[in-house]
Amino acid sequence: MKTENLKFPIGEYKPAEFISAEQRQEWINTLEHAPAKLEHAVIAMSDSQLDTPYRDGGWTVRQVVHHMADSHMNGYIRFKLSLTEEEPAIRPYDEKGWADLHDSKTAACGASIELLTILHKRWADLLRSMTDAQFKRTFFHPATKGTTTLENALDLYVWHSEHHIAHIMELSRRMGWHLS
């Protein structure tokens, strides 16, 4: 398989051009159920499988799981800030640095999956309560020097979930590991 396909198994992120209320509801449902899909992808893995990189130079499955929790905690906070402040500047963080910390490399995946399950439930509850106008609220990202609407951020976090779950599923397929 080509390196680009291993890096972006579902394709690179491309923001949706038109977002309907129905599309947002579909994304909310996908986001809410992503932790269950992630758990299904890793539940039967041994420690050596969890410590296998999904591609040469990529993170291990374990690091991917913990990265999703780290990223989505930040995402949830970005939504809360955007709903309570006028175009807040969000705080970027060093994803690679966080993934290289001891806990990301060694901790059991269960705690991050449990955290994601609860976080995504809360996030979905928040998202379902939002008005069309609230989905148009924005935050400013200092690293990209750009603004993002909350509906585009929802699109991105849904893609992010599917992207990393696909990393794990594709690795399992390539390695001949059988999912439960």
Q: What is the pLDDT of residue 179?
A: 60
Q: Which residues are documented as binding site?
A: 67, 160, 164
Q: Please check whether residue 159 is in contact with residue 15, taking contact to mean a CB–CB distance below 8 angstroms.
A: no
List, for residues 122-150, the tens digit of each pLDDT value.
999 999 999 999 999 999 999 999 999 99
CB-CB neighbours of 167 under 10 Å: 23
Residue numbers in the known binding site for Zn(2+) are 67, 160, 164
- Chain mean pLDDT for the chain: 96
The answer to whether 161 and 34 have CB atoms below 8 angstroms apart is yes
8 A C-beta contact, residue 157 and residue 68: no
pTM for the model: 0.95
> Is residue 6 scored above 80 in pLDDT?
yes
Quickly count helices (H) and strands (E) in the chain: 9, 2
Residue with tokens 């994304």: 27
Superfamily of domain 21-175: dinb family like domain (1.20.120.450)
> How confident is residue 152, by pLDDT bands cut at 50, 70 and 90?
very high
Share of the chain above pLDDT 70, in %: 97
Chain centre to alpha carbon of residue 55: 18
